Structure 1
Amino acid sequence: MALLAEYALTPGVFDITSYSSEEVCGLHLQALKEVLLHEGLVRNLRRGEWARTFEDSARPWHGRGKELLKKLWTQQRVVPADSVRPTTPNTDGEWCLEALGSHAALPLAGIIATDATAAPHAANSSVCSVSRLASAPWWAARSPSVRLGRTLVEYQSALDAVLRHANSLIFIDPFIDPTDHHQYGDLMQILVSLQSRSLKPRIEIHRAAWYGGGNDKRPRVNDVVAALTPAIETAAKTAGLSLEVFLWNDIHDRYLITDLIGISLPYGFGTTRAPNAFTTWTRLGRDDRDSVQREFDPAYRQPRHRFTVRGT
């Protein structure tokens, strides 16, 4: 299970009349809130038609549901999806079929529906009632960490939703060096993969100002800039990106910080051809993610050097 997962929800999940009582509805929505606002995305089916269903004031949307939707929008966790069925759904059952079609086109972690909507799809493990989520394999598989091989393919798979939807990507690693192809050449491929995005994210790279191995930590800004610039310029031009690069007197830990999730990366984005080489990525709590981001914010402390690479 990815550290950031994408779900589809049928509108009835937010409707009080889908439950035995308003209180039961609120309890299920509260449980969803804790997951979706920390580790989830919600697919906005049919290019936004899903979101527009909540403009129907005649349906008794639960207050917690309206609050959750507002926070999902504020945190930019409602993500677009193309239409797959010929007509706009009019019922929750039809919305579930739309979600299944969307899932077939681009896999979701799962589809969350009400008891009545999920019942006809009992044989389909992708669909689960909000009241029975604990029994869904894809819900039970959620974890704050993931074990993966140290290869570009596994990194890109683990970061699929992040690379498709994050609006900012901050790469923090003292050893980032694209000239070291054995370790960091593949990081440039991750940047190049962003070329398919019409709306480009904000990109930052943070690394140490010292260069080379050993214990000599004296700043060597010119050497670092010379090592970074050619490969980053090539990746930026290919993907149509602009990047800011920050050099610091010292960095110890390695992270990927985004507006949607923060991840601790023990090996950074270094890859290896060694067999059976694994690493464990851990999702940060929101407060920790924000703390790391502040630590590398030039508004809080000044880097040793900074420069911009423009590919547009």
Structure 2
Amino acid sequence: MLYHFAITPEVFEPWSINGMIPAGVVLTQLLRGIAEDGLLANLHAGEWMTHVRKHQRAEGISPDVRDRIESCLRTLHDRNRLVRHPRGSDGYAADDFRWLQWALERHRESPFSAIVASDELVELAEVTESFVVPLSRALDDDSWTERTRTPEFEKTESNLRKYVKPLLAHAQKLTLIDPYMNCREDRFLNTVELCANLMGRHDGNVKSGTIQIHAGDPETTGPDAHRESVRDRLARWETSLTPIARHTGHTFRVLLWKRKPGGKHFHDRYLITDQCGIEAPGGLDFLPDDEEERASLTTWAMLDDEVTRNILLNQFHHAKSPYQYLGATRAEP
């Protein structure tokens, strides 16, 4: 659902952009698509963006094309979709072949959906790997045409791992929203622990972050045997999450909500990071793989950026929420 691409910098040079008819159309469509459901590699410790900016300032690119490309890059930046990768090997000599080498190095560590390079560079470098795609064929490549914003899958832990791993690898903030989520059932707590173990884990390193959980009223939601006071539930959450926080380095915050008298039901379920938002209507509980025959089918859907902001800034904000805030607790490393 969140597809990671690399584009080598020479693609942004005037000769490459103007070589496509109409000028820049393929690159612009690529960037717009990645801004919707992808990540773009900022290679060599962020030097990639420096080179792209230099190419964009060069003479020979029409103002209209330059503005469209700049707009896409700005959107990627604003959505935290430009992913900084470690410095490549062999120092600082950055010619076109070196940039392709650095992209291939990163692919070996953490595979991209595709590496897009100019047709000329692919030919001169004699690259035969199928994941290295010439710009002219990028929009027809399987890595592009087979993207989906609405995967359907059975609710098992292995499928959860499969779909959240690319969502969480470069995230530093995660919000889990499910009125039925609780720490007394493994099918929910295992989801929290799995997400915590995957968040910020890439390139052999782990970056600590924050995880918020929004759940429902423990006095009225969930199995009768698990119902308890808000105070007891928050204490139980803190006890359950503290070992996970210490193991992963992430900080947790749990907030409980209930329906206001005559107000809106707390019903929808979401998984939201600082890069994208996912609607999970079937809930955030998943079964062990050995219970696959009991697992129900679910469909996730990627949310538009504006919808995601509305959920975080309005639906679960103390002063604006349509729900009644009950209390919160924290668990820290």
Let me know the Cα RMSD of the aligned residues.
2.8
Shift of the 112–264 alpha-carbon distance from structure 1 to 2, 3 Å rule, reads: same
Q: Which residue of 2 aligns with 1:291?
A: 310
Normalization by structure 1: what TM-score? 0.87
Alignment of 1:210 onto 2:218: yes
Deviates more, 1:265-274 or 1:118-127: 118-127
1:84-129 per-residue CA deviation (whole Å, 9 max, x = no partner) reads 4324453323312221121011111111122212335563210112
Q: Aligned partners of 2:73 and 2:49: how far apart in 1?
A: 9
Q: Which amino acid aligns with 1:200?
A: S
Structure 1 segment 110-125 matched on structure 2, within 5 A: 110-119=114-123, 120=125, 123-125=128-130
Deviation at 1:143, TM superposition (A): 0.7
Deviates more, 1:97-106 or 1:11-20: 11-20
Q: Aligned partners of 1:63 and 1:189: how far apart in 2?
A: 41
Q: Which residue of 1 aligns with 2:147?
A: 142
Unaligned runs of 5+ in 2: 260-265
1:151-208 per-residue CA deviation (whole Å, 9 max, x = no partner) reads 3332223122322222321100011122211443342232244485654333211010
Deviation at 1:76, TM superposition (A): 2.1
Deviation at 1:6, TM superposition (A): 1.1
Deviates more, 1:173-182 or 1:194-203: 194-203
Q: Aligned partners of 2:239 and 2:224: how far apart in 1?
A: 26
Deviation at 1:237, TM superposition (A): 2.2
Normalization by structure 2: what TM-score? 0.82
Q: Aligned partners of 2:28 and 2:145: how far apart in 1?
A: 17
Q: Which residue of 1 aligns with 2:262?
A: none
Deviation at 1:142, TM superposition (A): 0.4
Checking the alignment, whether the CA contact within 8 Å between 1:43 and 1:79 is kept in structure 2 is: yes
Q: Aligned partners of 1:55 and 1:33: how far apart in 2?
A: 15
Alignment of 1:73 onto 2:77: yes
Count of residues in Structure 1 that have an aligned counterpart in Structure 2: 309
Residue identity (%): 25
Unaligned runs of 5+ in 1: none
Q: Which amino acid aligns with 1:307?
A: A
Deviates more, 1:35-44 or 1:226-235: 226-235
- Counterpart of 1:245 (choices 223, 241, 254) is 254
Deviation at 1:50, TM superposition (A): 1.6
- Counterpart of 2:195 (choices 182, 190, 193) is 190
Q: Which amino acid aligns with 1:297?
A: H
Q: Which residue of 2 aligns with 1:266?
A: 281
SS at match of 2:46: helix
Alignment of 1:32 onto 2:52: no
Q: Aligned partners of 1:74 and 1:290: how far apart in 2?
A: 12
Shift of the 162–136 alpha-carbon distance from structure 1 to 2, 3 Å rule, reads: same
